[in-house]
Structure 1
Amino acid sequence: MIRAEQNSRSSMQMTAALSHGPHSPFTLDTVEIDEPRADEILVRIVATGLCHTDLFTKSVLPERLGPCVFGHEGAGVVEAVGSAIDKVVPGDHVLLSYRSCGACRQCLSGHRAYCESSHALNSSGARTDGSTPIRRDGTPLRSAFFGQSSFAEYVIASADNTVVVDPAVDLTVAAPLGCGFQTGAGAVLNLLRPEPDSTFAVFGAGSVGLAALLAARAAGVSTLVAVDPVAQRRALAEEFGAVTVDPTTEDAVEAVRAATDGGSTHSLDTTGIGSVINQAVTSLRARGTLAVVGLGASTVEVNMADIMLSGKTIRGCIEGESEVSTFIPELVELFTGGRFPIDRLVTRYAFSDINKAVEDQASGRVVKPVLVW
């Protein structure tokens, strides 16, 4: 629950993109943001990626809940830290990701993406005490999205979702490592873990799918397949070494089987579409594994006899099953070393053009919009 009353802590003004419900565009408005509390970090945002999760959440929160500040792929420079923060200092360049408590069974077993407090920390619209770091004319705004709400000039972040990077790293390219690129790459490197002699197919070659494709290539997998109806995305996947399939003109199952000598050993669905997930399962070879990362269909029809008799596995996966403090630096190293060319996926937009970025992403004209201040 969002607390109506706020404490009297000092704050400063900034510009943020406000969501007003499913059917309205984002608007830029002047809002107030708190100074960091003892366990918080104030970050000036340089860039933030536009992720499907932002738009999905916008589509399901009704207008009656009031304006919200989304954004969860922030990158920027630390402006101030609270008294309890000891591993981040003003001036540090940082990438922001999801929050986790660090104390529950999932966190302690190394699976922070499945933190038992994830909803409260990432999607409740407030801090855990019910207060919000962002207000407009003194009225609380739903914010603290993924512990950041980075569709804004500044954010309040925490030690558990802040990763320091080399100042030489281009933040306008690296920002999506906080979620989208991390989700695709992590599903491959942390969950599926293909070997060089594996075969990998991705269904949906948007930013998550292409990041997964690049990660599989970096892992040495030589047989790569990308299934997507958008010609521009298929062309990019081909440049990355993949065989491509247009599901609007080809039988996707047969095409994947043909390209992988009988079926993929590892596949990833990024679409969340029931019929596509079915194709991905069917096109696996015996004992193959499908990871699903897309929000969408709540129910999917699959052939259970095929799954049982062929020993196939379907696994859900969020945030690439990553430990952000170690995995994001690994991805940064792959990028700076030339083995993970995510710069090929990014199109930059002025922050004021956020609605144009939304349109271009939805139409398939761009793969990954990044908003730049």
Structure 2
Amino acid sequence: MTVASAGAPFARRALVLDDPRPDEVLVRVEAVGMCHADLAVRAGEFPFPLPGVAGHEGAGIVEQVGSGVTTVHLGDRVILTFDSCGRCRACGSGVPSQCEEFLPRNFTNGARPDGSPSLRDGGEVVHGNFFGQSSFATYALTSERNTIPVPAIASGVPSSVLAPLGCGIQTGAGAVLNVLRPEAASTVAVFGAGVVGLSAVMAAALLPIEQLVVVDVLDSRLELARELGATSVVNSRTADPVEAIRDLTGGGAGHVVESSGVPAVLVQAITSLRGGGSAAVVGVPPFGTTAPVDVADVVNNSKRIFGVVEGRSNPPTFLPDLAALLATGRLPVEKLVTTFALGEVELAADMMRNGTATKPVLLPGEDA
């Protein structure tokens, strides 16, 4: 599925994909999640060049491996995630989500790290390598580093449920488990009950916290949040979420996850923290967006604000852990998933926008 230009629809197009280089892997895509970033690419809000192929939550089967690849093998089931260089300080420290080459490898190049294209339509170059995969397709060319084998414990889990682990699930769950790490008997508030926020809810529900409050504008999402472990919910269309959280917690939340990407909601999330509290900011609005944060409130109340990319995940260890939680029923990702044939991509996008599908997952092997 290609996007010709900003604002254009997704369109089916037959392209030529390069064979794998020594450090690359060819994956037959069985399922691919749709994420806010994919719609932002289509809208021209993210710095990915067009025409191009989006898609960055793929899962499938390895069909070819480059001569230097050792961690995945022909026939392996794999989950695809973000790309990283493996050489910089952050990658060497086990934090590839802070890779010094994160933006070019996942957004701005639209090509391999060396600038060479991997997708063509006759003589025309089509931009690919979105998050090192461009998996809105029947096949994806990936790097060894962003191709993660499915652990044996999850061998029976459908690819449609595994695929969202690669971005949305690990982002929300990692914000809680890897960054905030709430102490026992603490309070967590989650702003935004999309797939990232609900993943944070599922992760927080695994911990011995005292309260788990979820804020959103859709009652259906708030009902789902309760099902996933929220102890209280707030519809911010009818109640002030800051006042509600202060009332529920006796002064403010110890930890918040802001997943909506709306600047005004970010301000509410930070304001709702108690003194010494921590905010994990994972929602991403269009590049260049600012928010009017009360600096005196942050300083005088010793509040901590963390920008979090991909849940501060180290995918080779974190994704198998999430897959194991999923396989044992402790991370019910299947409750978020609605599947579509690849040709139904526009329907999936519409249902994602209007809130009737929390996590659309496209199935390239099915016809619309």
> What TM-score do the two structures reach when normalised by structure 1?
0.93
Q: How far did 1:65 drift?
A: 5.5
Q: How far did 1:66 drift?
A: 4.3
- Taking the aligned partners of 1:207 and 1:351, their CA distance within structure 2 comes to 20
| Residue in 2 that maps onto 1:159 | 144
Q: How far did 1:57 drift?
A: 2.1
Unaligned 5+ segments in structure 2 are none
- Taking the aligned partners of 2:251 and 2:202, their CA distance within structure 1 comes to 23
In structure 2, relative to structure 1, the CA distance for the partners of 1:65 and 1:72 (3 Å cut) is: closer
Indicate if the aligned counterparts of 2:8 and 2:42 stay in contact, CA closer than 8 A: no
- Runs of 4+ with deviation above 3 angstroms: none
- Taking the aligned partners of 2:228 and 2:316, their CA distance within structure 1 comes to 28
| Residue in 2 that maps onto 1:223 | 211
- Taking the aligned partners of 2:68 and 2:228, their CA distance within structure 1 comes to 45
Amino acid at match of 1:248: R
Q: How far did 1:61 drift?
A: 6.5
Give the fraction of aligned pairs with identical amino acids, expressed as a percent: 46
Alignment map for 1:1-373 (pairs within 5 Å)? 17-60=1-44, 66-123=50-107, 124-165=109-150, 166=152, 167-242=155-230, 243-296=232-285, 298-373=289-364
- Taking the aligned partners of 1:66 and 1:267, their CA distance within structure 2 comes to 35
- Taking the aligned partners of 1:95 and 1:315, their CA distance within structure 2 comes to 27
Q: How far did 1:282 drift?
A: 1.0
Q: How far did 1:133 drift?
A: 1.4
Which is worse superposed, 70-79 or 291-300?
Answer: 291-300
Where 1:182 maps in the other structure, the secondary structure is helix
In structure 2, relative to structure 1, the CA distance for the partners of 1:222 and 1:371 (3 Å cut) is: farther
* Cα deviation digits, residues 270-298 of structure 1 (max 9, x gap): 11212111111111111000110111172
* Cα deviation digits, residues 148-199 of structure 1 (max 9, x gap): 0000000111111011013322110010110011100001000000123110
Which is worse superposed, 141-150 or 272-281?
Answer: 272-281
- Taking the aligned partners of 1:108 and 1:92, their CA distance within structure 2 comes to 26
* Cα deviation digits, residues 138-157 of structure 1 (max 9, x gap): 32110011110000000111
* Cα deviation digits, residues 290-341 of structure 1 (max 9, x gap): 1101111721112222212211111101000000000001111111111111
Indicate if the aligned counterparts of 1:120 and 1:127 stay in contact, CA closer than 8 A: no
Q: How far did 1:228 drift?
A: 0.3
Q: How far did 1:21 drift?
A: 2.1
- Taking the aligned partners of 1:285 and 1:34, their CA distance within structure 2 comes to 53
| Residue in 2 that maps onto 1:14 | none
Which is worse superposed, 97-106 or 53-62?
Answer: 53-62
- How many residues are paired up? 357
Q: How far did 1:200 drift?
A: 0.5
Indicate if the aligned counterparts of 1:126 and 1:143 stay in contact, CA closer than 8 A: yes
In structure 2, relative to structure 1, the CA distance for the partners of 1:61 and 1:291 (3 Å cut) is: closer
- Taking the aligned partners of 1:196 and 1:344, their CA distance within structure 2 comes to 27
Amino acid at match of 2:61: V
Which is worse superposed, 123-132 or 286-295?
Answer: 123-132
Unaligned 5+ segments in structure 1 are 1-16
Where 1:29 maps in the other structure, the secondary structure is coil
Indicate if the aligned counterparts of 1:346 and 1:370 stay in contact, CA closer than 8 A: yes
Where 1:132 maps in the other structure, the secondary structure is coil
In structure 2, relative to structure 1, the CA distance for the partners of 1:197 and 1:66 (3 Å cut) is: closer
- Taking the aligned partners of 2:325 and 2:51, their CA distance within structure 1 comes to 38
Indicate if the aligned counterparts of 1:21 and 1:61 stay in contact, CA closer than 8 A: no
Amino acid at match of 1:337: T
Q: How far did 1:359 drift?
A: 0.4
Indicate if the aligned counterparts of 1:218 and 1:339 stay in contact, CA closer than 8 A: yes
Where 1:208 maps in the other structure, the secondary structure is helix
Amino acid at match of 1:136: D
Which is worse superposed, 205-214 or 257-266?
Answer: 257-266
- Taking the aligned partners of 2:4 and 2:57, their CA distance within structure 1 comes to 20
In structure 2, relative to structure 1, the CA distance for the partners of 1:366 and 1:61 (3 Å cut) is: closer
